[in-house]
Amino acid sequence: MPSTRRPLTLRATQSVLRGVARLPRPVLRLVAGRPRRVDGHTLRTDVQVALRLLDLAPGSEAAELTPDQWRAEIETEAWLFGHQPHVASVRDGSLPGPAGPIRTRTYDPSPGEPAPGVVVYLHGGGFVAGSLDSADPVCRFVARYAGLTVVSVDYRLAPEAPFPCAVEDAVAAFRHVRDHRDELGGDGSTPVAVMGDSAGGNLAAVVCHRTVEDEAGGPDLQVLLNPVTDWSRKSRSYALFPTGYFLTEATMDWYASHYLREPEQARHPDASPLLARHLGGLPPAYVLVSAFDVLRDEALAYAARLEEAGVPVTLRVDEDGTHGDINAMGVSRTSRDLVIEVAEAVRDLLVRR
């Protein structure tokens, strides 16, 4: 579990971020400066303030760091911006994977009561960073506000384990949870969703492709939060938001250089699900897209292709937010409300089908 013991400087930074978020709106507007308007969208004031504060703080681009150093940065950011609501129980465990045990963390929403559904959660971090700890706040929110059991998966990371290792772990984890859902308090008919953000959204989409023809069936719902869907080209949103909105073009290039060993792997549908020939028969999808995000247009394109293939799609565009919105619930009431909205939508789409 994430430690609550942090250096004083980090605690001070967190206090500043959370204190600023509570300022009256007119004061926030002054701190934020001139509104940022891009492509018909206006960046939300509290996000703009956070970006200004981050610009003032010392930090480095991923390309300037080693993978281990960047992983530490991601863990620190998750602690600074996240919030951990109470759930009935949290337990660490493992399940069998293609290269050995895969660590998991399971969240139960209610003591002694079986949840009406299960969510297999795949964290973000560009396939290089992220962990059970960095995903902990979002998983807690989903368990608490959706009332579902959440199984967070610690898949292998690049460059030590490049493509397709993360895919293999994600598929194995989903199949294991699907086949052992009764051990999580449900029964053989309990619905199972696959959910992920950013890189995890990519993996969630690929899991659906890889398991759609399984005799036991694929996921009952796919939840894709700002997903990576196409490594083969850079869409227009890369040109619109190359820097200054949390996730940068340079960071995405750095991720690709570690995850994909050969350039041609970018066109493999297990890396770029947008390039899959057939999308028919996949489970219903909930797709969250942030307006100020380099990944925006490829996520929108994937949602459109799913709809064209006859897949029911619920598209939610975060009109004034950035790639990091769902992880900022500790410093932004709007981000907190967004994560709760996503959790409630997952419950409704999975359980009330």
For the annotated catalytic residues, the residue numbers are 198, 293, 323
Helices and strands of the chain, counted as H and E runs = 11, 10
Spatial separation of the C-alpha atoms in residues 279 and 134, rounded to whole Å: 31
Under 8 Å between Cβ of 219 and 283: yes
Contacts of 133 (CB under 8 A, 6+ apart): 1, 2, 75, 78
Query: How far does Cα 294 stand from its chain's mean position?
Result: 15
- Strand duo 221-225 + 89-95: pairing: unpaired
- DSSP secondary structure of 99-142: TB-EEEEEEESSTTS--S-EEEEE--STTTS--TTTTHHHHHHH
Instruction: Provide φ and ψ at 138, rounded to 5°.
Output: -65, -40
Tokens of 217: 């069936």
Q: How many residues does the chain have?
A: 353
